[in-house]
Amino acid sequence: MPLDLRAILTTVAALLSGILAALALTNPVLRDWAIVASPSEVDRWISSGPTAVGLGAVIAVLACALSQRRGSRRAAWIAIAAGVAVIAIVRAVVPEVASLDLLIALIIVKSVAAGTILGCVVAVSWDRTATKNATLLGVLATFLAIRTFAGGTARMTTSSVGEPSWWLIGATAAAAIACAVTAQAGFRIRKPDSGEIRIALVVITALAIGHRVLGAVIDRQQYASEATAWIVMVLAAGAALALTWIAAYRLGDASGAGGKFLWAATALAAASAPLFVDIAKGSGYWGDLKSPWVLVLFAALPVAVGLRLHKQVPNFVPIAVLVAVPLSELLPFDSAHGVWSIALKIAALGLAGGLLFGSLAPGSLVDATLGLAIPFAAMTFSSIAILTDQLSFPPMMTSTYIQGQLDIDAVSPHGDGGLFGRGIGITVDYVTAQTVGTAILFALIIGFCGAAILRRSHPPVEVSEPTETA
């Protein structure tokens, strides 16, 4: 069989575009920042991140829809190259930024560019198994692994995971341009159904706004009483699931529709939220792994295996794995939060995500884009994870105490390989009523998503076109 260089190039470009889009859409709240401003201005800057990510998710679906309407693969690759160029400009400008308003503008511009890349790469990659899997691999592996690179920063930045590296920007731009040059005019993106696009745009807009509002409500409970905080979190989780149910019903989950794909994305977002809090607390202290790059392998390889084996594994298996991840928080502290535990959780999420996303990948391009954007935009679950962590943190394990423990010599013969594998011994009882409540809440959220995935399919809701009357 002759080597198809064009197919190889397209697969590599899809992988790189998925990685860059996911990296640019990942914008966790910064822990430290070089900003001197009033509390209201700092709050405005912090809230701009989630808002920009939600906007990026909407733009992704819109970009995919426009690519379908145009039908030209060359135009889609050119749009991807333009999005990469915008991210490169942001990357170059950020170190010189001295204005908070300009930084907020750059965050929004970067998210819009990332959404454009994500939507266009789905449009050009979804018709071939290899390129579709490359896109899924790039997005899922980056979503799971990129937060291990987060940490405090001594300067302004658009994300605590850092700006995309120049080699990634350059390689993605070169691959996109090469694909645009070599694109075959006769091999066009399939035309969309107008009702399908309309539903997808309404759904992603409703989900992005809904999650943003619910996340903001939860964030404001930081100084509320514990009982009030739990009531708000439970109600917010229920509201998010109700909104997802309505959205999935509108999308439908029969062949080609994206309802079950949306549930899979929601389940992955919920299962990963508590883990991301653990990663944020241990960022930069990876013990025997030496580098967070090792954790990239723990994310990428299981995702690839899941995408390869999804036809052989029933869907209840990855759902059970996703449920087990938050329940693992009930294990003793070192077992639940050590570096190897974090690595295994990332691998478990990667395998489950690969199996579910490979099995449930919809035929609809806009539905696929919508599902891939949800893990980044589902801020309700990340806000719940952050607040429950604050509620369940043992009193003696304050940030000052942990920092003091982290400063202990990593090779101390008296250490026992405690927090994040650095020879730190912390003997408090981590499992509290709050910890149990958190694990059960997230397990129930994922279980609800899993039940929706496993139930009998229904077709998408038909949207009738308006008719003219005489």
Tell me the angle at which helices 166-182 and 5-25 cross, rounded to the nearest 10 degrees. 140
- Location of structure tokens 């509620």: 391
Question: Alpha-carbon distance 362 to 261, whole Å?
Answer: 7
- What pLDDT score does 466 carry? 43
In angstroms, what is the C-alpha Rg of the chain?
A: 22
Q: What is the pTM of this model?
A: 0.87
* 244-279 burial: b if 16+ Cβ within 10 Å, else e: bbebbebbbbeeebbbbbbbbbbbbbbbbbbbbbbb
- What pLDDT score does 157 carry? 76
The two tokens of residue 71 are 């039908």
- What pLDDT score does 268 carry? 96
- What pLDDT score does 30 carry? 52
The two tokens of residue 253 are 């989950």
Give the Å distances, CA to CA, from 368 to 19, 196, 204, 318, 358: 16, 12, 11, 19, 11
Over residues 40-61, the pLDDT tens digits come to 777 777 788 889 999 999 999 9
- What pLDDT score does 341 carry? 85
- Location of structure tokens 């706004």: 209
The one-letter amino acid at 335: S
The one-letter amino acid at 27: N
Question: Alpha-carbon distance 329 to 312, whole Å?
Answer: 29
Nearest to 356 by CA among 396, 324, 315: 315
Question: Alpha-carbon distance 259 to 366, whole Å?
Answer: 12
- What pLDDT score does 134 carry? 96
Over residues 412-461, the pLDDT tens digits come to 444 444 434 443 444 445 677 788 888 999 999 999 999 999 887 766 66
Q: Which residues of the chain have pLDDT under 70?
A: 1-3, 29-39, 151-156, 254-256, 282-291, 333-337, 393-430, 458-470
The two tokens of residue 27 are 């914008």
